[in-house]
A = this chain, B = another copy of it.
Amino acid sequence: MTFELTILGSGSALPTSRRYPTAQAVNVLERFFLIDCGEGTQLQLRKSKIRLAKLNNIFISHVHGDHVFGLFGLLSTFNLLGRKTELKIFGPQALKEILYFYIQNFTEELQYKIVFNPVDGRTKNLIFEDKVSEVYSFPLKHRVPTFGYLIREKEKLPNIRKEAIEKYNLGVKDILSIKEGNPFHFNNKKIDPESLIIPSSKPRSYAYCSDTAYYERIIPWIKGVDLLYHEATFQISEKKIARQTLHSTASQAATIAKKAGVKKLLLGHFSNRYAELDSLLKEAQSIFPESYIVEDLDVYSVPENK
The answer to whether B15 and A46 touch across the interface, beta carbons within 8 angstroms, is: yes
Q: Counting CB contacts under 8 A, is A203 at the interface?
A: no
* A101 sits at the interface (CB 8 A): yes
Q: Shortest beta-carbon distance, A275 to chain B, in Å? A: 14
Find chain B residues with CB under 8 A from A66 CB: 73, 76
Residue of B nearest to A48 (CB): B17
Given known pairs A40-B39, A73-B69, A105-B98, the reply for A46 and B17 (CB within 8 Å) is yes
**Beta-carbon contacts of A11-45 to B below 8 Å, as 1s and 0s?**
00111110011000000000000000001101100
List 18 additional contacts besides A21-B73, A69-B69, A69-B72; criterion CB under 8 Å. Answer: A13-B77, A13-B80, A14-B77, A15-B42, A15-B43, A15-B77, A16-B46, A39-B70, A39-B73, A40-B43, A64-B106, A65-B73, A66-B73, A69-B73, A94-B105, A97-B105, A98-B105, A101-B101
Can you list 10 A-B contacts with CB-CB less than 8 angstroms, sorted by A residue number? Answer: A13-B76, A14-B77, A15-B46, A15-B77, A17-B43, A21-B73, A39-B73, A63-B105, A66-B73, A98-B105
**One of B14, B65, B105 near A106 (C-beta < 8 A):** B65
Q: Kindly list chain B residues whose C-beta atoms are within 8 Å of the C-beta of A101.
A: 101
Query: Is A81 part of the binding interface, using a Cβ–Cβ cutoff of 8 Å?
Result: yes
Q: Are B43 and A20 in contact (CB under 8 A)?
A: yes
> Is A173 positioned at the interface, with any CB of B under 8 Å from its CB?
no
Q: Which of B14, B20, B46 contacts A81 (CB 8 A)?
A: B14
Q: Say yes or no for A51: interface residue by CB 8 A criterion.
A: no
Judge whether A167 is part of the interface by a CB distance below 8 angstroms: no
| Chain B residues whose CB sits within 8 angstroms of the CB of A42 once the complex forms | 15, 39
The B-contacting residues of A in range 56-85, CB under 8 angstroms, are 63-66, 69-70, 72-73, 76-77, 80-81
